[in-house]
Amino acid sequence: MRKKKLVSLMFVGLITGLLAGCGSENPSATVDDFLTAVQKNDFEKAGSYVQGGTESLTTDQETAEEADEELAMTLFENISKNYDFEKTEEVSTDDDKAVIKTEITSLDMGSVMTSTMAEIMPLAFASAFDEETQESEKAFEEMAEKTMVKYMTAEDAPLVTRSVELNLEKDDEGNFKIVDDENLEEAIFANISQLEDMFSGEDSESWTESEETEEQPEQTSEVLSVVAENKLYDAKPINVTLEEVSFKKASNVSEDQQFDINNMYTDEPIGAEFSYFYIKYTAENTSDQDVTFSGINEIVLFSEGKQEKIDVAYDWKDFIDYDEAQDPDYYGAVSKAGEIGVIIKTDPTKVEKVRVVISESMSTETYETLSDAQNVEFEVTN
């Protein structure tokens, strides 16, 4: 599920698991040198003072692991920019163990991740109804990472000062190394424990806990009837293919997703089961000029002398609202895939006709209309 990936982006082992090395015989010197290396964005040297981790940073990795390492380096670099610490203080030393205390000022990663979650969670909930592909998953992860980095690099990115006690243990060579524990996490990722409490605390009713520990019926999306398939339309210079136009029923929808949809995408509250109208399409710019094309503007359902009009383009009713076609700008000869899901009041079995309004296209630079919006109608046989 895409929701899990939002948390995995900030999995603290991403960095701490890559730090490994030799340490020092003096525990205070180990901590001083480690914090200085973090401050100077010296990833490899910082790793030389931490216990555990991977065997090598240069071994052959899977593609996903390489992407994780790249993200880890980006996080480390941005955290180091405003990283500062006071002189270390020895709290205790007992043969093979020691505790060193220091005061650290750095980027408030708890706040950064809270802002990131607030921006992406609506997309994560909506995407539960999306048809997941390898490409869409990758696009979603990239967007989540970019959002996190945006908050990390903002001019007003929050800093926080806190006191941290780092635990150290001697290795087989008699050198003190910093233990890879929650205190080390706090030393690098300030206030990240607040985020972990939000998603895994014993008293929390977070979606992560309920998703992983409680047995819930699997959410399903069932096609009730197909209205049209693989229909081609010319919105010069955009070629539009309506790959699937159908009525669907969602079942076993979680309370979290119900809440999100009811607050953002519909005027009529939905429950664990509801019907919706679905469109999957592709749009291809056949020219080299930059074109603005919004995809689907409007959907109208006709039933028993009544009509139900759903404004897709301007009223934000599409709850499957994460796909590349959400961006209306086509820079040259490119193609995009889009999906639309809108809650409907009309009984799908009573719909007689469907009208889909395909967007106009215009020059991105001059705003000149290149093709007008067009109505496409389908008779429905139930």
CATH number of the domain within which 234 lies = 2.60.40.4170
CB 131 within 8 A of CB 189: no
Are both 321 and 205 inside the same structural domain?
no
The predicted-structure confidence for 321-351, as pLDDT tens digits, reads as follows: 667 888 899 999 999 999 999 999 999 999 9
Note the pLDDT of residue 371: 96
Q: Please identify, among 195, 212, 229, the residue that sits at the C-terminal boundary of a domain.
A: 212
pLDDT top residue among 366 and 173: 366
- From the list 139, 148, 81, the residue with the least C-alpha distance to 109 is 148
Are both 192 and 252 inside the same structural domain?
no
Whether the pLDDT of residue 291 is over 70: the answer is: yes
Are both 166 and 263 inside the same structural domain?
no
DSSP 50: B
- State the residue range of the domain holding 365: 220-379
Are both 44 and 193 inside the same structural domain?
yes
Are both 33 and 171 inside the same structural domain?
yes
pTM (2 decimals)?
0.53
Structure tokens at 317: 């009713």
Whether the pLDDT of residue 207 is over 60: the answer is: no
Are both 275 and 168 inside the same structural domain?
no
Number of domains in the chain: 2
CB 300 within 8 A of CB 91: no
Backbone φ and ψ for 273, nearest 5 degrees, come out as: -140, 135
Are both 52 and 113 inside the same structural domain?
yes
CB 43 within 8 A of CB 71: no
Note the pLDDT of residue 132: 59
Are both 224 and 197 inside the same structural domain?
no
The predicted-structure confidence for 233-285, as pLDDT tens digits, reads as follows: 999 999 999 999 999 999 998 888 888 888 888 888 899 999 999 999 999 99
Confidence label for 224 from pLDDT (cuts 50, 70 and 90): very high
- From the list 122, 282, 346, 132, the residue with the least C-alpha distance to 219 is 132
Whether the pLDDT of residue 316 is over 70: the answer is: yes
Whether the pLDDT of residue 194 is over 80: the answer is: no
Are both 261 and 181 inside the same structural domain?
no
- Work out the percent of the chain whose per-residue pLDDT is above 70: 79
Alpha helices in 214-328 (DSSP H): 255-264
Structure tokens at 7: 């948390």
Are both 207 and 237 inside the same structural domain?
no
SS3 152: helix
Distance CA 25, CA 311 (A): 69
Q: Please compute the mean of the pLDDT values over residues 78-93 and round it to a whole number.
A: 93
Note the pLDDT of residue 171: 87
Distance CA 272, CA 343 (A): 13
Distance CA 308, CA 286 (A): 34
Mean pLDDT of the chain: 82
Q: Please identify, among 164, 180, 212, the residue that sits at the C-terminal boundary of a domain.
A: 212
Which pairs count as long-range contacts for 39-42, CB under 8 Å and 24+ apart, including other chains?
A: 39/80, 39/83, 39/84, 39/85, 40/80, 41/76, 41/77, 41/80, 41/81
Q: Please compute the mean of the pLDDT values over residues 352-364 and round it to a whole number.
A: 96
pLDDT top residue among 358 and 120: 358
Least confident range from 318-322, 332-336, 375-379: namely: 318-322
Confidence label for 367 from pLDDT (cuts 50, 70 and 90): very high
Radius of gyration of the chain (CA): 26
Whether the pLDDT of residue 88 is over 50: the answer is: yes
Instruction: Write the DSSP assignment of 226-285 as a string of letters.
Output: EEEEEEEEEETTEEEEEEEEEEEEEES--HHHHHHHHHHT-SS---SSEEEEEEEEEEEE
The predicted-structure confidence for 119-163, as pLDDT tens digits, reads as follows: 776 666 555 555 556 776 777 777 888 888 898 999 899 999 999
Note the pLDDT of residue 116: 83
Distance CA 164, CA 30 (A): 15
Least confident range from 40-44, 83-87, 214-218, 225-229: namely: 214-218
Q: Please identify, among 212, 238, 269, the residue that sits at the C-terminal boundary of a domain.
A: 212
CB 109 within 8 A of CB 190: yes
Confidence label for 58 from pLDDT (cuts 50, 70 and 90): very low
Are both 321 and 357 inside the same structural domain?
yes
Positive/negative CA dihedral, 116, 122, 128, 130: negative
At 60, the amino acid letter reads: D
Are both 194 and 293 inside the same structural domain?
no
Taking 3-state DSSP, the helix, strand and coil percentages for the chain, each rounded to the nearest 5, stand at: 35, 35, 35
Note the pLDDT of residue 203: 43
Note the pLDDT of residue 196: 56
The predicted-structure confidence for 4-25, as pLDDT tens digits, reads as follows: 444 444 444 445 444 445 556 7
CB 118 within 8 A of CB 305: no
Whether the pLDDT of residue 218 is over 90: the answer is: no
